[in-house]
Structure 1
Amino acid sequence: MNGKDVHKIIVACDAGMGSSVMLASQLRKELRKYSVTVEHTPVNSIPDDADIVVCHQGLADRAAAGAGDKPIVKFQVFLGDPAVTKLVSAIKNGGEISA
């Protein structure tokens, strides 16, 4: 999937400790001018209209079960993770995004 085709990102979480909410907020701020919606949802409730799912590596299997064929960007660190940085760059510059 090309980054220019992304319109909705879901940040999927589990524990609700706030770290994923911070990540969703950061992505919203970074991607505001690119018309990308960023939502925060439980990993078991990924909406059908998501283009990309972003989740912690430990939740990837559960996210995959509910994400269908949508690419899943897995990260290890909530803020400053290279996988998330690569996703943002692909959206801004039109690069390819892979699961």
Structure 2
Amino acid sequence: MTTINGSAIKTLVVACDAGMGSSVMLAGQLRRQLKKNGVTVVHAAVAEIPVEADVIVTHQGLADRVRGVAPDTVIVSIQLFIGDPAVARLVSAIQTGSDVGE
């Protein structure tokens, strides 16, 4: 299992390919929540995930594709782009410096 300490996360990517806008809303929400922590939040298509990504948040249906693109990066798989408990745990881990894992 790949893990990273929340305090080491500098670039967080919200990856999507559905084009429904909810992933863009999540990226904006995370930008606001993590601004004080110095985390850059990027929204990207799965095929365009930047190499500097420390953590990738994506829908569970895309997780295998994301693993193929970024096999050594921590992937947080979610069911809902808005209100998913995994996102709340990720934000908490970044803010408290605790570990994040798949």
Normalised to the residue count of structure 1, the TM-score between the two structures is 0.97
- Cα shift at 1:62: 0.5
Between Structure 1 and Structure 2, the one with more strand by share is 2
- Cα shift at 1:45: 1.4
Structure 1 runs not aligned, ≥5 long: none
Correspondence 1:93 to 2:65: no
RMSD: 0.6
Matches within 5 A, 1:14-25: 14-25=17-28
Question: Equivalents in 2 of 1:52, 1:7: separation in Å?
Answer: 9
Moved over 6 A (4+): none
Give the % identical residues.
56
- Cα shift at 1:17: 1.3
User: Number of aligned pairs?
Assistant: 99
Question: For residues 26-75 of structure 1, what are the alpha-carbon distances to aligned partners after superposition, in whole Å with 9 as ceiling and x for unaligned?
Answer: 00000011000000000111111000000001100011111120000001
Partner residue of 2:48 out of 45, 50, 59? 45
Question: Equivalents in 2 of 1:91, 1:40: separation in Å?
Answer: 18
